[in-house]
Copies of this chain bind each other. A is one copy, B any other.
Amino acid sequence: MDANIDFLPDGTVTSPAGFSAGATYSGMKSYTEDKRDLGILLSETPCVTAGVFTTNLIKSPSVIVSQQLMQGGKVRAVVVNSGVANTSVGEQGFTDAQETMLLAAEHTGIGPEEICMCSTGLIGGELPMALIRSGLPNIGLSPEGGDEFARAILTTDRRPKSAAVRLQIEGNTVTIGGCIKGSGMIHPNMATMLAFITTDAAVEKDYLSALFKEVASETFNMTSIDGDESTNDTALMFASGRSGNRPLLATSPEALRFRTALMELCVFLSKEMLRDAEGASKIFAAQIEGAKTKEDARKIARAVASSMLVKSAVHGNDPNWGRIIAAAGRGGGYLEESKVSLYINGVTIMEKGQPIPFHRESVIVLMQNPEVLFTLQLHLGDATATAWGCELTEEYVTFNSAYTT
């Protein structure tokens, strides 16, 4: 990590100046004391926003209305619910999303054009509006509410996942905070990957949009493998501008450092999401080097990270490297077998197409690390990409074969 960027493991979406948040338990999920299922995140003043949404042709009305609202450029708050996806319920889904957003706007004292909505949970059931109507007024917003908000987006996740990073820009302290939810094997189960990023930096709108899109495609989209997008996937970023810097542009001298800090936060959150996937605890990176094009590198990285056989091998600490090579070859990115070198946590397994005898026990031990690294050097160019995956466990199957019943 950049020495001039501080990592704040206890940071949240309310670590940056100008944000408050809160959550409540309304009854959309089975009760435990620390469970929340309805939350609000608010920028106290107008802010600049960016969003990345699922490309699934089946979309939750919560996604569709939020996408439209974001285009208006006035959004500075989001209401979230978990337990019910508000997806595949016909027109009622739009009516319910509108009412929920209106209730949240009234509760926070902002205009209806200033708030959007994210839902996550089971597909095919209508939002329980009675619970939302009675629960929403209980949400207390505060600058300490980031952890509460992070809990309100969880479904089968085992724990809230938040963090923040801090850096200096033009002598001003800038903080970027975020939270995430995943689940499934990030072949999302309860239908969603949600990520919320906040910052008190001032960022010019077009630059924020381009930057957030780029960072999301290198992080969230390299864990949400396989184009396996859910009906509700959404990542939103809010920039309050409260830190006092001049608005960052692509040409700003400080833009690169801001990008690095944002990237580090989003990589961390993506890995956190994988570590918290159903049944999983071990994660791995598929790092592609020397590809002809970026797109080649991305395709190969994603193919390796999403291979069920690779995921199973990681679970069993099994240096079955043929599975990595086979997944790479079918990924749709260009490679030439006779030029490919493969390393597992730095140990050479294959050198330019030729398998190298390796000490099996050592590699098994290396694969017991909580994070395993597969590096493929293609020797064809300069392009690189990394995708992340998690182990596939028996618990995943048990959990997912008995989920609604």
Measured CB to CB, the residues of A under 8 A from B are 54-59, 85, 87-90, 122-124, 184-185, 187, 189, 191, 227-231, 307-309, 312-313, 315-323, 325-326, 328-330, 332, 334-338, 340, 350, 353-355, 364, 392-394, 396-398, 400-405
- Interface of A, secondary structure class, is loop
In the complex, the answer to whether B308 meets A187 with C-beta atoms within 8 Å is: yes
Q: Is the CB of A316 within 8 A of B88?
A: no
Partner of A58, one of B123, B184, B325: B325
The 5 listed contacts between A and B (C-beta, < 8 Å) are A57-B330, A58-B328, A58-B340, A312-B397, A316-B403
Residue on B with the closest CB to A320? B404
Shortest CB distance A114–B (Å) = 28
Taking CB as reference atom, which chain B residue is nearest A355?
B124
Decide if A394 touches B398 in the complex (CB within 8 Å): yes
A123 to B319, CA, bound (A): 12
Cα of A356 to Cα of B188 in the assembled complex, Å: 24
- Residues in B with CB closer than 8 Å to A124 are 321-322, 325, 350, 355
Contact A403 B187 (CB under 8 A): no
A393-B404 in contact (CB<8A) = no
Expressed in whole angstroms, the Cα–Cα distance for A312 and B187 within the complex equals 12
Residue contact A315 to B401, C-beta cutoff 8 Å: yes
* Contacting pair A313 B400 (CB below 8 A): yes
What distance in Å separates the Cβ of A191 from its nearest Cβ neighbour in chain B? 6
What is the CB-to-nearest-CB distance from A63 to chain B, in angstroms, rounded to a whole number? 11
A397 touching B396, Cβ below 8 Å: yes
B residues within 8 A CB of A398? 394
- CB contact between A90 and one of B187, B328, B354, B401 (< 8 Å): that residue: B354
CB distance from A329 to the nearest CB of B (A): 3
- Most chain-B CB neighbours within 10 Å: which of A312, A318, A322, A325? A322
Given contacts A88-B325, A330-B227, contact A397 B392 (CB under 8 A): yes
Q: Which of B123, B313, B404, B405 contacts A403 (CB 8 A)?
A: B313
Q: A401 to chain B: which residues have CB within 8 Å?
A: 312-313, 315-316, 318, 392
